[in-house]
Amino acid sequence: MHDADTAGGKGARLASGALDQSALPTGMLAGLKAMRTDGTIENVSLGMNAHRKHMGRWTPSVIIDLIDAVPEGTIDSALLAYGWNLLCQDGLEVMVKCQQAGIAVHIAGTFGGEQCAYLPRTPLPVPSRSDALACCCCRLNLPAVRGEQASG
């Protein structure tokens, strides 16, 4: 199930009806689980953005609530986009929930996140978090690529 949090409107809060419907006993996830049981598919997976800048309204509870709404064992894996990289760890709560529920996690957008996801294609200032990372690398005598170095 891909981007169920964005169906029907801007931001997950406006799309909560779509999420609620997918978790019903007769909803999409139940149908996918039945297809897995009869061997038509191997896994039931969801793929969703996992960073707070997604449409300005995303919170970890969007995915956590969906996981909680379906019977245990329904979801085999979750692809989390832009929520886990050096600059953004917004997806941590979701990753912890997935670990507790035995759901495999796949990370997408590891080189994007706060700087790249859904932003205009204009030069952006390097966030202070990346400056702090560069300082840590310097103290540990590790090479660090800074935003202005990466583009040149």
Encode pLDDT of 49-83 as tens digits.
776 666 556 677 888 888 998 999 999 999 888 77
Entry pTM: 0.66
What backbone torsions phi and psi does residue 18 show, to the nearest 5 degrees?
A: -65, -40
The CA dihedral of 31, 24, 15, 41, to the nearest 10 degrees, is -20
Q: Supply the pLDDT for residue 14.
A: 44
**pLDDT at site 48:** 83
Query: Residue 124 and residue 34: Cα distance in Å, rounded?
Result: 46
Integer Cα distance of 81 and 19 in angstroms: 18
pLDDT at residue 17 tops 90:
no
By 3-state DSSP, what share of the chain in percent is helix, strand and coil, each rounded to 5? Answer: 45, 10, 45
Please report which confidence band the pLDDT of residue 30 belongs to, taking 50, 70 and 90 as the band edges.
very high
Q: What is the pLDDT of residue 54?
A: 61
The 10s digit of each residue's pLDDT in 91-147 is 889 999 999 999 999 988 776 644 454 445 555 555 566 777 777 777 777 776 554
Select the more confidently predicted residue: 104 or 148: 104
